[in-house]
Amino acid sequence: MGWVSAVAPALTTAAPFVAAGTSVLAGRQASAAGKYNQAVQNRNAQVAEQEIQQIENQKEFDIARFEDQFRQLQAETKTKILFSGADLSGTGLRILRQNAEQAEIEKDIIEYNAEIGKARKFEEANFARIQGNVAKQQAKSQELSYYAKAGTSLLTAFG
């Protein structure tokens, strides 16, 4: 029993330091986790911003392709009108004008859909950044809680 009675006071004296040390380590881990989670969310925001540029590029490509198809349609329509023996007045001219009006509507739809997609990605990027900031703040709060727990452990033991 001599050994137990000699070690017990040393363990009692060391216990607050062990508890405080554990709390400090947990605080550091919480801080690291918060920074990591914020970095992940910031990366998600960057990806969303890159997708905004991809949407813009796709819009430009779609409009260019549409304009090529429209020019081809107008040329075919003119050829058919002229080949039929009619001239480019009256009904033929109305058909070409109606095609041009419809083409403008289609281009507006392509642009509108692209703008909606870009706005969604912009909001997604903003939300990811907000989530990252919240994660970091939660980790900071948790970190401070662990540090306070360490301080309380030491104060309780020696205060």
Terminal-to-terminal C-alpha distance of the chain: 31
Q: Where are the domains of the chain?
A: 2-158
Q: How far is CA 94 from CA 87, 90, 158, in A?
A: 12, 6, 96
**pLDDT in 10s for each residue of the chain, 159 residues:** 455 555 555 556 666 667 777 777 777 787 788 888 889 999 999 999 999 999 999 999 999 999 999 999 999 988 888 888 777 778 888 888 999 999 999 999 999 999 999 999 999 999 999 999 888 888 888 877 777 777 777 677 766
**Residue listed under structure tokens 């080949």:** 83
